[in-house]
Amino acid sequence: MNRLIKLSRVLPTPDPAPTVAYTPIRLNMPGRQPLELRLTAPASGDALPIVILSHGFGPSNYIPSKDGYAPLAQFWAERGIAVIQPTHASSRVGGLDPDRPEGPFYWRERVVEMRAILDQLAEIERQAPAIAGRLDHDRIAVAGHSFGGHTCSLLLGGRLQGEDFSDPRIRAGILLAAPGRGGADLTPDHARRFPFFDVDFSGIELPTLVVCGAEDNPHFTPRGPEWHADAFHDAPGADALLTISGVGHGLGGIAGLDAKETEAEDPEALEATRRLILAWLRRTFSIEQDAWTQSQAALRDSAAAIAKISVRER
């Protein structure tokens, strides 16, 4: 038992089970180096739902890659979810040359990489023999932190300059500390530097959980932490907003423990974040229909100081 958590222990979650991981899995990409992945999955069980986890553009050298975000990936895999983590084109350690025309952010190439994973799930299983035949290709969600949230918002149906990037194979999404509205909502300098932040979230109709840190004060906009919640207000499919108390962009440590991305290492906040997201996933994937309702009740009755959940009425 983790002695660092107390309040968040009341949030129901399954017991952990052994996992198996494969890395690096390499997928061929036209005209460039292979895309490298990590796959972490339960060691047993069939018809495993899939989460493709898109990393951010953080300050560390290695965390923004397939080798980061272990606090999320391992936790979910121990509880029944297969997690696929790409090393995106924007990665410092394994990505493309940042001086190329689309560098260093490669926002469009990141979307292409996520699609390549969907296209090559059979190849991923071939390179991961213990997982072969055990993935449910009809239950796929995307989850993205920070700039990874931008990548996922496009795949979920967000439109940029009128272009549609959605993929019908994706059934749900989780946006963690993702960018909000661009354009006039940004400072003039950031609006010039990041025109690709001007995403129209109104095309997102898939079930989406938006996760924010209550103290996540972005430098892109003068609007404050609520900027990160824009997708919840604008996307018809966004059914819940989870706001984690007392933490900022790192949500208590999801990218990595003791990492530069983790401005406030908070075991309670981290535990609440990953437990509550898992409960939402278990409801959305029809693993345990009451998981999300039970977690909301436990949070409200016994741990309200940790987080707040706003649910859109349907």
pLDDT tens digits, one per residue of 226-241: 999 999 999 999 999 9
Tell me whether residue 298 is in a domain. yes
Residue 258 has pLDDT above 80, yes or no: no
Tell me whether residue 151 is in a domain. yes
Tell me whether residue 1 is in a domain. no
The pLDDT value recorded for residue 260 is: 82
Under 8 Å between Cβ of 11 and 303: yes
Tell me whether residue 196 is in a domain. yes
pLDDT band at 314 (very low <50, low <70, confident <90, very high): low
- Where are the alpha helices (H) located in the chain, listed in sequence order? 70-77, 107-119, 121-126, 147-155, 188-193, 230-234, 267-284, 291-302
Residue 28 is part of which domain span?
Answer: 7-311
Q: 114-143 pLDDT, tens per residue?
A: 999 999 999 999 999 999 999 999 999 999
> What is the number of domains present in the chain?
1
Tell me whether residue 2 is in a domain. no
Closest by Cα among 123, 147, 142, 128 to 63: 147
Closest by Cα among 238, 218, 237, 236 to 226: 218
The pLDDT value recorded for residue 18 is: 98
The pLDDT value recorded for residue 178 is: 98
Question: For residues 66 and 25, what is the distance between their CA atoms, to the nearest angstrom?
Answer: 10
Q: 53-84 pLDDT, tens per residue?
A: 999 998 999 999 999 999 999 999 999 999 99
CATH number at residue 301: 3.40.50.1820
Pairing type for strands 172-176 and 135-145 reads parallel
Calculate the average pLDDT of the chain.
96
- Where are the alpha helices (H) located in 120-265, listed in sequence order? 121-126, 147-155, 188-193, 230-234
The pLDDT value recorded for residue 257 is: 81
Tell me whether residue 116 is in a domain. yes
| Predicted TM-score (pTM) above 0.85 | yes
